[in-house]
Amino acid sequence: MPRPLILEWFPATEVGVECHREHSTGRHPPLNRLHVWWARRPLVLSAAAVLSSLLPADAEGYFASAAAYRAWFLRLLGITGDPVGTLARLRASGGKRLGSDPYGYPRAFSRHPPEEDLALLRELVSRAWGSDEVLVVDPMAGGGSIPFCAVRYGLATRANELNPVACVILRASLEYPARFGPELATAIERWGETWAEEVRRELESYYPCPDVHAYLWARTVRCPGTGRPVPLSPNWWLRRGARPLAARLLPDGRFEVVAEESGPGTVARGVARSPWTGERIDGAYLKREACAGRMGQQLYALVLKRGGKLQFVAPPEQEAAAAELAERELDRRLAAGELDLPLEEVPAGHKTAEPLRYGMTRWAHFFSPRQLLAMGVALGALRRLTAQLAGEEGGAVATYLALALDKALDYNSRMARWHSGRGVVVGTFDRHDFSFKWSHAEIDVARRLLPWAVSQVATAYRELAELVPRGSRSTVSHGDAACLTAVGDAAAHLVCVDPPYFDNVMYAELSDFHYVWLRRSLGEVYPELFTGSLTDKQREAVANPSRAGSGRQAAEHYRERITACFREARRVLRPGGVLTVMFTHRRLAAWAALAEALAAAGFGVRAAWPVRTESVHSLHQAGKQAAATTVMLACASGEAATPLPREEVCRRIREAARSAGEGFGRERAAVLDRRVAAFAAVLKVLSECRAAPGGGAIPDPLEALRMAEQEIGGGTE
């Protein structure tokens, strides 16, 4: 049985730098641009996890030294320069640019591994496992980073996922690119143009000005004192920077554009102020008005794009009139049964609580009337077009056009907003929640949005197909990770998984936003995926207090579900196979649940490698005390624990925590990230130790993690 490389060495620092490069150039990898998914792991991290878990630690006879082997491994990942040294020079420069390409090589994920390196990879893996055929299984594949990387290196891969939205994404990013190649992008573009043209003809009268890049709307409530509409927005910024622009409310209720910084908005922290009387409007009043259907909207600015430059103007009266006309048309079509819109109720949940508080009780309420009319028309046109597409290729084209509709929905809801610093519309999911937006952006669906969305999806597909080898072996299955019926006993050489991180992301709740539309656009293409009205929340392995009833019960649900998944991973793993788990969290309860689940499933942590993967400037990180570090846990089954007295175990726990924290501190990591590194090191110690007869009970995971926290300092609860 081989000893995998990950048990002895992992290039955590180099991979960490590449993780930042992967998303720092303003152009995300094509997998991310195909469709939104929450908390995707970086591709370079996923590739490193897969390859280091399969390659042998000992490659004697193939390389002159261990250093040569490791240099080859980095080259196999696509790291062909010196990322650590370059980052050090960038930091030392004090922010000065060191040329247009200081790293001197492309981002790692974008580099095609040379055939000679792939041949050597196959030979080393075959030597280690005694077979040319190795199977990589990701039982919770989500957005697909892990299986995508496995497929890229020619490895047989099974990607399993409970969530139907993720299953569609997986088929579109793994199976179809390998089957149809880059040529399918031409068909996507051709049919997409036909679709967009039909929608344009039906909708263009509702968007009078052809140059509008974005419409900026503010929600309104009646002023309690005067009855006049109060436009609600945290600020009125249109453009920040050296030449600031802002909208300004005039005494007659109209807006003008002024060349100055934004004054104070009319709402902050859920409390509004009437511009007509100056009085405070409390949050309870705002919620009552919203729930009663009396919250309206007012157009306060247009963003025009002319000659490639943005211009900002006050909205002419014809624009508001066109929106009112669209609202009347929406009512007419609904009464006539001409539109199939997502009128399903929004279920109570951890992330849906905020929109529900403001009367957004149905998924259709996430859109303004004109947005809803436009997206309903686009859906109807797509369904008519899909009926003309035949065969497997036709189903693939229909899939990508449905993903384009999803992209349009993401960027054209009442949860999308105008980013005055970047001059762009930011999509619904710039954060992992449904945070209520007082002001929102709208895009012209007739002329701009659909052509853009189709182009984005077609381009992402073409790049995916260029990265995925034609004819590569991958299978996508839909089901519970605790019951991998399509994988036999001891069939997998590696189970590599990026499971839900306790209560970090409520995937099912968030994906319902897209599920209700995909069920309508792709229900006939994938009838097996869209059998329910919403996604499965019961079997999801997350700690969701709104569903479990309390935080304690939520933690217990997570522990039970993740334990069942790890037990199934043990069943499908062959002897000597590795379970590689990516994990991070700031709370002790999350780490304790993970440790208990691994132990209950018969796994011990054999190696732990912390990698700084997240940008501290991300909205998912900023101000949330969120860890920027992902830990790679290499786990194996079988007894490997040494009986030790309690005092010795405690000493090892404290020493491991202190060493991990200090070592990671040299990477300029924040205190929270040093604690994450310490928590992972403690899990390894717990796997190595068991109580000696008469030596007292060793610490349980929660007690051990608290010891680690004390060594690093500060609290995480």
Q: Which of 445, 465, 493 is the last residue of a domain?
A: 445
Between strands 689-691 and 642-644, the pairing is: parallel
pLDDT digits (tens, 9 = 90+) for 224-244: 999 999 999 999 999 998 899
**All residues at 6 or more sequence positions from 71 whose CB lies less than 8 Å from its CB, including other chains:** none
Record the pTM: 0.94
Task: Identify the domain containing residue 604 by its residue range.
Answer: 5-161+577-638
Is 241 among the domain residues?
yes
Look at residue 407 and give its three-state secondary structure.
Answer: helix
pLDDT at 624: 44
* Mean pLDDT of the chain, nearest integer: 92
Is 386 among the domain residues?
no
Angle formed at CA 403 by CA 402 and CA 409, multiple of 5 degrees: 90
- Indicate whether 234 and 325 sit together in one domain: yes
- Indicate whether 325 and 429 sit together in one domain: yes
516 pLDDT higher than 90: yes
- Indicate whether 215 and 136 sit together in one domain: no
Q: pLDDT tier at 625 (50, 70, 90 boundaries)?
A: very low
Is 226 among the domain residues?
yes
Is 622 among the domain residues?
yes
Residue with tokens 């229909």: 398
C-alpha span between 577 and 580 (Å, rounded): 10
pLDDT at 218: 97
- Indicate whether 66 and 213 sit together in one domain: no
Task: List the one residue out of 265, 285, 172 whose CA is nearest residue 225.
Answer: 285
Is 459 among the domain residues?
no
- Indicate whether 420 and 279 sit together in one domain: yes
Is 584 among the domain residues?
yes
Q: What is the mean pLDDT of residues 656-677?
A: 79
pLDDT at 666: 61
Task: List the one residue out of 49, 138, 122 whose CA is nearest residue 572.
Answer: 138
- Indicate whether 145 and 32 sit together in one domain: yes
C-alpha span between 220 and 286 (Å, rounded): 9
Number of domains in the chain: 3
C-alpha span between 76 and 67 (Å, rounded): 14
C-alpha span between 325 and 321 (Å, rounded): 6
Q: Which helix (H) or strand (E) holds 547?
A: helix 545-548
- Indicate whether 235 and 338 sit together in one domain: yes
Q: pLDDT tier at 622 (50, 70, 90 boundaries)?
A: very low
pLDDT at 203: 97
Q: What is the mean pLDDT of residues 632-661?
A: 90
- Indicate whether 42 and 145 sit together in one domain: yes
Q: pLDDT tier at 655 (50, 70, 90 boundaries)?
A: very high
27 pLDDT higher than 70: yes
- Indicate whether 616 and 680 sit together in one domain: no
- Indicate whether 429 and 291 sit together in one domain: yes
Is 21 among the domain residues?
yes
- Indicate whether 221 and 338 sit together in one domain: yes
Residue with tokens 């691994």: 598
Is 599 among the domain residues?
yes
- Indicate whether 581 and 690 sit together in one domain: no
**All residues at 6 or more sequence positions from 426 whose CB lies less than 8 Å from its CB, including other chains:** 416, 417, 418, 419, 441
pLDDT digits (tens, 9 = 90+) for 240-277: 988 999 999 999 999 999 999 998 899 999 999 999 99
